[in-house]
Structure 1
Amino acid sequence: MRISLLFRQSLLNVLLASASLMALAASPVQAQVRGGTLNVILNPEPPVLMVGINQQTPTQIVGGKIYEGLLTYDFDLNPQPSLAKSWSVSPDGLTYTFELQEGVTWHDGKPFTADDVLFSLKEYLPEVHARARNNLSHVSSIEATSPSTIVIKLKEPYAPFINAFEMSSAPMVPAHLYRGTDFRTNPANQTPIGTGPFKFKEWQRGRYVLLERNDKYWRPNLPYLDKIYFQVIPDANSRLVALENGSVQVASFGDIDFAFLPQVRANPELEVTTKGYEFAGPHAAIELNHRVKPLDDVRFRQAIQYAIDRKFIAERIFFGAARPATGPVSSVTRFYDPNLPKYDYDPKKAIALLDEMGLKPDANGKRASIKLLGLPYGDTWTKVSEYVKNALSKVGVDVVLENTDAGSWARRFSNWEFDSVVEYLYQYSDPALGVDRTYLSTNIHQGGYGTNVSGYVNKDVDATLRAAELENDPAKRKQLYSQAYTQVANDAPTAWLVELAFPTITNKKVKNVTTSAIGVAESFATTYIEK
């Protein structure tokens, strides 16, 4: 096999990573940074810590310290070593070869082997992980050609495949605990066992999740921290107070109400960054259930689009930590096209579409009524739901707000138990990895998180997205995605809201929190507290 350019780059990455670890191990600073307990806000409390079953943000934040994937990704979205120390791609783009790290053990002491990789990719993930199922559908075979070598052959070229191996996209799962069991009800889901730098110790529901240092971690002299407490703090004001008084040292995503960002940025003991969300590309929207009238009518969905002022949401609710979404693809995602049909704020157009449908206002001005299931991730998202209710009332659509906890939200979202629902999904750097899944009719699977929950069906879109997945020429892929998402924009299957630029807030004594494009969902192996 001829060594590809990607393989040469991967070897360089491995050498650089090894050199960095050796330099760090030899540094006298190491003795000063080892030890300590880190407190991280966890909001809301996740329903489970098994990333393979649940990919909601809180699950990823904790699970990323326990579980690992074959790769991780730098800020420029280039693949970097994780459980795979090196990799190569054949010139025809059909064969991916991964060389695994040596001396890796699961937290229960069992060795991590190629068999675990085979089980994870062939059995476990296709069963429980909707996004992984789609990525792995392109695979014709997965084999272990040696105890430390995995060879994956694709049915056809699939350009985004190399970006599908980080912890939340393809977590490695212990075959000895899951093989032959019901994956969703396996007791190991409650006491997770991974290969990561921290081991699960305790979960006091409603209070905290405690992880402890993995003394047998495969990366030499890591991790630095002894313990991580993920503190469950439901009240927004209490989260801010805890951050400012130092009882917690890390907040991320929407932990701190965006209205407090100016106050946080002015605090000399805190640092704020929006780095670490590059791979995720979080994109907020309202999913609309096409099985429910009048949401099955494209004119009603378009009316909702026109009735929403995205600039108001970005500036007045997220205080500049978000950008108005212009369509289904985020501006930070590959093949974004700024020229797709847009829905600028125009209530008059919304009213005209509702009139065209024959939805005339009654004596109270109400034309129709729908339910909106809010996202249970804090006060900011409550404000989003309240704004949508207010905005749609101005065009005669009555919105009944529904609230629930994170676990029930995920269940209802996955099982289509909603009229409309506020969500944000990750786009994972490429439409084929994080956008197409929402609009492909082949990805309508009840009970699967991150699937096509709206029930949107357009066979032309299916065919064009499929062609884009299989095309290796970037220019042709861009053309195909523009074609597909122009049709999606016209069909308005969801109501796009904002592209999120979440802040990660840390106490200045805490170092190396954001080290890759995976952000706070990274392993924290090199995170330390300055003495």
Structure 2
Amino acid sequence: MLASTVLCAGAWLMPAHAETATMVLATEPPTLVSLTNVATTALAVSGKVTEGLLEYNEDLSPEPLLATSWNISPDGKEYSFKLREGVRWHDGKPFTAEDAAFSINLLKKVHPRGRSTFANVTSVEVPDPQTLVIKLSQPAPYLIKAFASTETPIVPKHLYEGTDAASNPNGNTPIGTGPFKFKEWQRGNYIVYERNPDYWGKPDPKIDRLVVKFIPDAAARSIAFESGSVDFGYRTPVALSDLDRLKSLPNLKFETKGASYSYNVTRLEFNLDNQYFRDKRVREAVAHAIDRKVIVNTIHYGYATITYSPIAPGLKEFHDPTPSPYAYDLKAAAKLLDEAGLKPTDGKTRFRLTLDFNPITTEGRRLAEYIRASLARIGIAVDLRAQDISAFVKRIYTDRDFDFAVNGASNLFDPTVGVQRLYWSKSFVKGVPFSNATHYSNPEVDRLLEQAAVENDPKTRVGLFKKIQDIVAEDIPDLNLVSPTFLTLHNAKIHDLATTADGAEGNLAHLYVK
């Protein structure tokens, strides 16, 4: 925006000459660095300040970022990176390979996907300040795609060493190497980033200021786009019911580019420690009571694809389109509950559950409402519980105080990274968000996941994931429902927004306003 703007009744005044782009999010991020938490809102902001070694084009081919070149040994057990010279952290200290090595070792411990992504890493060595060598016990065919800024953020060793990563102040006031410097976070309202004049990638960034606004109400976000008070948002930032109307406006543009790094699957997660859901018949009954076609047409207005698999249809090489063995069938659902000894006590209600839903998207609540109505038809009473994203994450992954939950899972660029964490028994670690929330444990699935993670033959690897999908579909620790079609919406004056596979989640160094 080229005119002066006042946010929050004068809380922050933008100078009239500054060239600013304003991003909108539905909810506030729990942290500004995607180190210990990979909530979508954290991913949306992290890469602007905290960069990775590589970035990726639309077909996921790696390109330089903090690393300028790389080499993988023929046996796939050693990755060598040459790092960019002359890069400095925003506090003026030099960036070196020591920072990168420290970050990867830390990510292996604290990142929700780090335990599986870096499972085979045995050592991270620093032969000189500009060289990083990662050694593995076994090949990791997916690893070269894992070094994006949001997935493997490189953080300053001098600020994190000897601290608790989750509570480190850098998560709220980040210091990075990126094109934007953190300026201000007014809780509940907005974040302000300013251009880094010393960025290694000069003349980028091309804008003076990036503002991130939080607008929880979907209708208000639509109005903000219409009025021009926000410039862009991603993962379909408006109510789906407003899309047809907004598409008729000449000042707004829509695109699907910039989503290939992170396909998503919407899921219903059962807490397998729950007294009801530990009985497979109850899980089968719930599965029989939910119609995925209704979810696509009514909840997502057609902007979604049915999936029975945890591997999204976008990952065509790995996705199994085989329908669920538990088709929509209310009579079968009722019979299963009767067999489980859960007959109605008052002629109507069999038992009562609480359903939590991830608040990041508007569709989360609407899907939860649909599930409540559907399960009422087979005698299961459902109470909905709303909370902000931080409370949701704590409840599901730390306190484990939930019955079942509507949630989403990013597949990312490979099933070992995006899917293994959901079903691998070793990724059930309390306090680690967006991991094995169901507490699923199947030794055969563990074996297959671990084999797929190190299998270098593509055809064999696809076959392993096919077996995994078959077993999970039968065990039904969760219900995979749909894969949303994500749209990035932006004002026509915004250019070069989605130049990488992660689109708006990238560092936005090339974005300009015209």
User: Same fold by TM (over 0.5)?
Assistant: yes
* Alpha-carbon distance in structure 2 between the residues aligned to 1:72 and 1:315: 35
For residue 478 of structure 2, what is the aligned residue in structure 1? 494
Instruction: Sort the Cα spacing of 1:468 and 1:340 in 2 relative to 1 into closer, same or farther, 3 A.
Output: farther
Distance 1:89 1:56 in 2: 31
What secondary structure, in the 3-state scheme, does the structure 1 residue paired with 2:412 have?
coil
The more displaced of 109-118 and 128-137 is 128-137
More divergent stretch after superposition (363-372 vs 294-303): 363-372
Query: Which deviates further from its counterpart, 410-419 or 199-208?
Result: 410-419
Cα shift at 1:254: 4.4
Which consecutive unaligned segments of at least 5 residues does structure 2 have? 1-16
Q: Runs in 1 of length 4+ with deviation above 6 angstroms?
A: none
- How far apart in 2 are the matches of 1:478 and 1:68? 31
Q: Which residues of 2 match residues 100-111 of structure 1 at below 5 A?
A: 100-111=83-94
- The partner residue of 1:421 within 405, 414, 421 is 405
Is 1:58 equivalent to 2:41 in the alignment? yes
TM-score by length of 1: 0.91
Once residues 355 and 75 of structure 1 are traced to their aligned partners in structure 2, the CA distance between those partners, rounded to angstroms, is 50
Q: Is the 8 A contact 1:376 1:405 kept in 2?
A: yes
Question: Does residue 1:202 correspond to 2:193, yes or no?
Answer: no
| CA apart distance, 1:348 | 2.3
Whole-angstrom CA distance in 2 between matches of 1:464 and 1:66: 37
2:169 matches 1:187: yes
CA contact (8 A) 1:274 1:502 kept: yes
Shift of 1:519: 1.6
After superposition, the Cα gap between the structure-2 partners of 1:439 and 1:200, relative to the gap in structure 1 and judged at 3 Å, is same
Greater fraction helix: 1
User: What is the match of residue 485 of structure 1?
Assistant: 469
Alignment TM-score, normalising by the size of structure 2: 0.94
Give the Cα separation in 1 of the matches to 2:483 and 2:361.
18
Number of the residue aligned with 1:28: none
Partner of 2:232: 250
Q: Percent identity?
A: 40
Match of 1:473 in 2: 457
Structure 1 counterpart of 2:8: none
1:348 matched to which residue of 2?
A: 331
* Equivalent of 2:63 in 80, 104, 111: 80
Q: 1:116 aligns with which of 52, 75, 99?
A: 99
Mapped pair 1:241 → 2:223: yes
**How many equivalent residue pairs?**
496
Conserved 8 A contact 1:311-1:323? no
Q: Which residue is 2:322 aligned to?
A: 339
2:379 corresponding residue in structure 1 = 396
**Alignment map for 1:141-220 (pairs within 5 Å):** 141-220=123-202
Query: 2: CA distance between counterparts of 1:208 and 1:229?
Result: 7
Indicate the SS of the match to 1:58. Answer: helix
Amino acid at match of 2:341: G
Cα offset, 1:378, TM superposition: 4.5
Counterpart CA distance in 2 for 1:182 and 1:429 is: 29
**Structure 1 segment 357-368 matched on structure 2, within 5 A:** 357-368=340-351
Between 274-283 and 356-365, report the one with greater CA deviation.
356-365
Q: What is the CA–CA distance in structure 1 between the aligned matches of 2:419 and 2:494, rounded to whole Å?
A: 34
Q: Is the 8 A contact 2:236 2:489 kept in 1?
A: no
Distance 1:502 1:454 in 2: 26
- Tell me how far apart the structure 2 counterparts of residues 294 and 462 of structure 1 sit (CA, whole Å): 24
Q: Deviations over 1:42-90 (max 9, x none)?
A: 2201122121022111111111211111112211122221111111111
Q: Distance in 2 between matches of 1:130 and 1:256?
A: 28
Letter in 1 for 2:240: F
Q: Which residue of 2 aligns with 1:9?
A: none
Q: Cα deviation per residue 1:194-225 (whole Å; 9 max; x = unaligned)?
A: 11110100011111100000111111200001
Q: What SS does the aligned partner of 2:82 have?
A: strand
TM alignment of 1:81-96, pairs within 5 A: 81-96=64-79
Q: 1:382 aligns with which of 350, 365, 389?
A: 365
> What's 2:247 paired with?
265
1:261-313, CA deviations, whole angstroms, 9 ceiling, x for partnerless residues?
A: 11111111111112211111111101110011111111211221221111111
Partner of 1:6: none
Distance 1:517 1:348, change over 3 A: farther
The residue matched to 2:142 in structure 1 has which SS?
A: helix
Partner Cα distance (1:68, 1:39) in 2? 20
Name the residue aligned to 1:48: 31
What displacement does 1:349 show?
Answer: 2.2
Q: Distance in 1 between matches of 2:188 and 2:131?
A: 42
- State whether residues 321 and 503 of structure 1, in contact with CA within 8 Å, keep that contact through their aligned partners in structure 2: no
Structure 1 residue 358, shift from structure 2 partner: 1.9
Q: Aligned-pair distance for 1:342?
A: 4.3
- Once the two structures are overlaid, the 10-residue window that deviates more, 356-365 or 467-476, is 356-365
Mind listing any 5+ residue stretches in structure 1 that lack a counterpart? 1-33
Which one is further off, 337-346 or 49-58? 337-346
How far the C-alpha of 1:128 sits from its partner, in A, is 1.7
Report the CA distance between 1:35 and its aligned residue: 5.9
Per-residue deviation, 1:442 = 1.1
| 2:310 is aligned with 1:328 | yes
Separation (CA, whole Å) in 1 of partners of 2:183 and 2:249: 33
Pair 514,499 (structure 1): closer, same or farther in 2 beyond 3 Å: same
